Structure 1
Amino acid sequence: MAIACNVVDRELYTRFEVKRGLRDISGKGVLAGLTRIGEVHSYIIDEGETVPVPGRLIYRGIDIEDLVDGFLRDRRHGFEETIYLLLFGELPNIKELGIFKEQLLEYRTLPSFFVNDMIMKSPSKDIMNVLARSVLSLYSYDEDPDDISIDNILKQSMQLISQLPLLAVYGYQAYAHYHGNTSLFIHSPHKDLGIAENILYMLRPDNKFTPLEAELLDLSLVLHAEHGGGNNSTFTTHVVSSSGTDTYSAIAAAIGSLKGPRHGGANIKVTAMFEDIKENVENWEDEGQVITYLERLVNKEAFDKTGLVYGVGHAVYSVSDPRAVIFKSYVKTLAQEKGLEAEFELFDTVERLAPSIIEKHRKMYKGVSANVDFYSGFVYRMLGIPEELYTPLFAVSRISGWCAHRIEEIVNQGKIIRPAYKSVAPKVTYVPLSQRK
């Protein structure tokens, strides 16, 4: 009954011109707001026609390729600098970056007994739930949690950005201990390490990691930090913030959105798909065998039988996802360090062959290409990061974008976000209880 009474005839969406998912028939997002934080660029208009172009991702007016090239050329990590850029709208100078890192370090702690009371005493099998619950609980430790002045929101944002890596790693350690019967390791963050380094330091029993490992994790955090105002979790941040609620509630709501497998959990599906490919393709170097598998995959005969090639295709990008393009060269270097060149070549083969196979079997309004999730799961596995932390690490990165968009929503004092829904339910006459069959 609960299903039958909620089914809406799909034809009605066309009749009433409803933009399902806030997208039009071509897949373009319906314009719902304006932002100065991030831009996702994937096409140009030429003589009235939409022409796909290589994707670009822009943070506060700066192309992601230039941002990444800048800090990697200096042989330093860039996530903290990226957080500053998103929050304050410009790149910091050396002094400003130093002060900002010191402030993040000051906030890189949790209230007394918080780990024991909130994480250890009620370990969850899903770390995203640990993050959401913990963020909501931190409301109780804030002396003025409902103050939505920009200065206070900035303070709350920096605190949550600094605390989320601890919540994620500690949440996983509790899960692994209580649900996996492993030894329990709770390492305090190291004051001389940045966010990416500290995640590896706290996660590993021996605290050890290589410079390349830290560089790749830092790069991943930079690439996932922001993706415009329309992605589901960031739009959730705008919607919830527009009601005037507190920062903790807004960020917990965004975490809930990101938990969904259609949003933050895609790289887990990519990882599982490749495990199936490795089991069912005898010779990874034989393109014919790979093509045969992909044909079966698209025809809903392989893996989870959904017909999806996970990690290939994106709601916005068509020609290329700039995050995947940047990631790929560094992924190859890490694969060589880990002795996994053959597996990297399999990823490269699937990335090259899948778009044409998908296009052959599907009616598409735009092309497809590998997205950032295609390689991120492979990177995390090479880094020894457990699958349970894949989506939480996405949150550790994206919270910087969420906080920037929350501030933007509050600064512009927009109306509460309330799109229209048309009721298509038939009118029904009330029947007294005694007369109901």
Structure 2
Amino acid sequence: MSEELKKGLEGVLVAESSLSFIDGEAGRLVYRGYDIEELAAEASFEEVLYLLWNGELPTREQLETFAASMAEDRAVDERVLDTAAALAEADEEPMAALRTLASFLSSDDPESDVAADDLDAARRKGRRVTAKIPTVLAAFDRYRRGEEPLSPREDLGHAANFLYMLTGEEPDDVAEETFDQALTLHADHGLNASTFTAMVVGSTMADLYSAVTAGVGALSGPLHGGANQDVMEMLLDIDAAGEDPVEYVERRRSDDDGWRVPGMGHRVYSVKDPRAVILERKSEELGQTSGEAKWYEMADAIEHHFQAAGLAEKGIAPNVDFYSGTVYYQLGIPVDMFTPIFAMSRVGGWIGHTLEYQAENRLIRPRARYTGPTEATFVPLDER
């Protein structure tokens, strides 16, 4: 009997992990035993990174040391900034630019020649690449806007420093807390496509920079990253047309049978994504403080329409992207930078899973069922 084919590895167990647990039916997400709601409310992104990479929450002293090291690691070499400038001048797509810059960051790593199986060195490499990605992203965006990049500030936290480097203004407490929470919510989510890609690369004992670069490439595909950008572009279209959001959605659904409301539904969750619950509150809060409540209100109207139509009961409920786009937009982040921001957070999970897998490594080598001919007759070139 032939083996059952599992397209997309649906339901296939390929590894054991203690990083994150997802209960899709209950709408629950857990990092290392801690519910995501508690971590988002109580822990900083730096604490969450430490938790993912080390298996436990840090003490105050450990956190201070870790956060200080992260801050010191933010600066990048001038050659990296020159590359960011060249990519901006070439009008490169932000995710493609990040893919190039993430790879180039290894050239400036003091432990670039240390063997990949030195997991302590790998963890330090992971910390450095995580610290530098916000710097290169902010530099790239400022270059393409005709502005010079800003040097990272060691007196600001990871989230606040990125917003400062991007916008040139130190964020207020609400903006800093909101963005820090958004980073935590996106940090890990099991063996999604980009995390699995990073882990596969890591299983060859390639270094962390190769794994992270591969993760960026996987995340750039429209079936994985990008839904939050699609959500925001939909809301901008609705606003520009002055159309009712529910009428807009129903018109698009009737005009194009293949069109789906972006940010609705999830491969794992059959109920509302717990991360969307948190980001919905932050979107509403930002709207109230900024006077731009329309973005939240439009998204909220669409969600309630889906609930009233009974679609939420069929699993078509908001995922993390449905409200994250409105949050990022209100923080002053350009729409086409939303997926790079996703990468800036998910790098924590990429590194955590790669380190975990490499600790008891086995090369990941699946098989494909062959469907081609087995007895073809070779014809010499001159006779074809």
TM-score normalized by the length of structure 2: 0.92
Say which SS state the counterpart of residue 121 (structure 1) adopts: helix
CA-CA distance at 1:236 after TM superposition = 0.6
Aligned to 1:6: none
Instruction: Check if 1:57 corresponds to 2:23.
Output: no
Q: Deviations over 1:384-410 (max 9, x none)?
A: 111221111111111111111111011
Which residue of structure 1 lines up, in the alignment, with residue 275 of structure 2?
A: 323
Contact 2:80/2:104 (CA < 8 Å) preserved in 1? no
Asked whether 1:418 is paired with 2:370, we answer no
Amino acid at match of 1:431: V
Partners of 1:282 and 1:307 in 2: how far apart?
18
CA displacement, residues 186-215 of structure 1 (integer Å, 9 cap, x when unaligned): 11111210111111111114x243221111
Matched, 1:66 2:34: no
1:376 aligns with 2:330: no
- Map 1:108-257; keep pairs closer than 5 Å: 108-116=74-82, 118-123=83-88, 124-145=91-112, 146-148=114-116, 149-177=118-146, 184-205=147-168, 207-228=169-190, 230-257=191-218
Distance in 1, Cα, partners of 2:216 & 2:382: 46
The answer to whether the 8 A contact 1:309-1:354 is kept is: no
* SS, match of residue 145 in structure 2: helix
Q: 1:328 and 1:208, CA in 2 relative to 1: closer, same or farther beyond 3 A?
A: same
Query: Which of these two proteins has the greater Rg computed from alpha carbons?
Result: 1
Contact conserved, 2:284 with 2:296, CA < 8 A, in 1? Answer: yes
Provide closer, same or farther for how the CA distance between residues 358 and 425 of structure 1 changes in structure 2, counting only shifts above 3 A.
farther
User: Partner amino acid for 2:155?
Assistant: D
Q: Give the aligned partner of residue 261 of structure 1.
A: 222
Contact 1:125–1:175 at 8 Å: present in 2 too?
A: no
Aligned mate of 1:346, from 289, 298, 301:
298
Deviation, structure 1 residue 108: 1.4
Shift of residue 93, structure 1, vs aligned partner: 1.6
From 67, 72, 87, the counterpart of 1:106: 72
Distance 1:121 1:234 in 2: 29
Q: Give the aligned partner of residue 88 of structure 1.
A: 54
C-alpha change, 1:114 and 1:294, in structure 2 (3 Å) is closer
Counterpart Cα distance in 1 of 2:189 and 2:244: 37
**Is 1:79 aligned with 2:41?**
no
- The answer on whether the counterparts of 2:195 and 2:349 sit within 8 Å (CA) in structure 1 is yes
After superposition, what is the alpha-carbon deviation per residue over 1:246-279, rounded to whole angstroms, capped at 9, x for unaligned?
1111110001111111111111111122233335
| Equivalent residue letter for 1:411 | A
Farther off after superposition, 415-424 or 135-144: 135-144
Q: Which sits farther off after the overlay, 129-138 or 397-406?
A: 129-138
Aligned residues: 378
Structure 2 unmatched runs, 5+? none
1:342, 1:113 → 2: CA distance? Answer: 42
Distance in 2 (alpha carbons) for counterparts of 1:85 and 1:68 = 13
Paired amino acid for 1:147 = A
Q: Does 1:393 align with 2:341?
A: yes
Task: Give 1:38's match in structure 2, choosing from 15, 20, 33.
Answer: 20
Q: 1:136 to 1:293 in 2, by over 3 A?
A: closer
Cα contact 2:22–2:30 (8 A) shared by 1 = yes
Identity across the alignment (%):
38
Corresponding residue SS for 2:371: coil
The answer to whether the 8 Å contact 1:351/1:369 transfers is yes
Counterpart-to-counterpart distance in 1, 2:310 and 2:250: 8
Assess if the C-alpha contact under 8 Å between 1:135 and 1:252 holds in 2: yes
Structure 1: state its 5+ residue gaps: 1-14, 24-28, 44-52, 72-77, 178-183, 285-289
Hey, what's the Cα distance between the residues in 1 that align with 2:335 and 2:242? 23
Specify the SS of the correspondent of 2:306. helix
Normalising by structure 1, we get a TM-score of 0.81
SS at match of 1:40: strand
Q: Secondary structure at the match of 2:81?
A: helix
State the SS of the aligned residue for 2:223: coil
Q: Is the 8 Å Cα contact of residues 142 and 149 (structure 2) preserved in structure 1? A: yes
Q: Does the Cα contact within 8 Å between 2:28 and 2:35 map onto a contact in 1?
A: yes
- When residues 165 and 343 of structure 1 are mapped into structure 2, their CA distance, relative to the original with a 3 A threshold, is closer
Shift of 1:296: 3.1
Matched, 1:22 2:4: no
Cα contact 2:160–2:170 (8 A) shared by 1: no
* Greater alpha carbon shift after TM alignment, 138-147 vs 393-402: 138-147
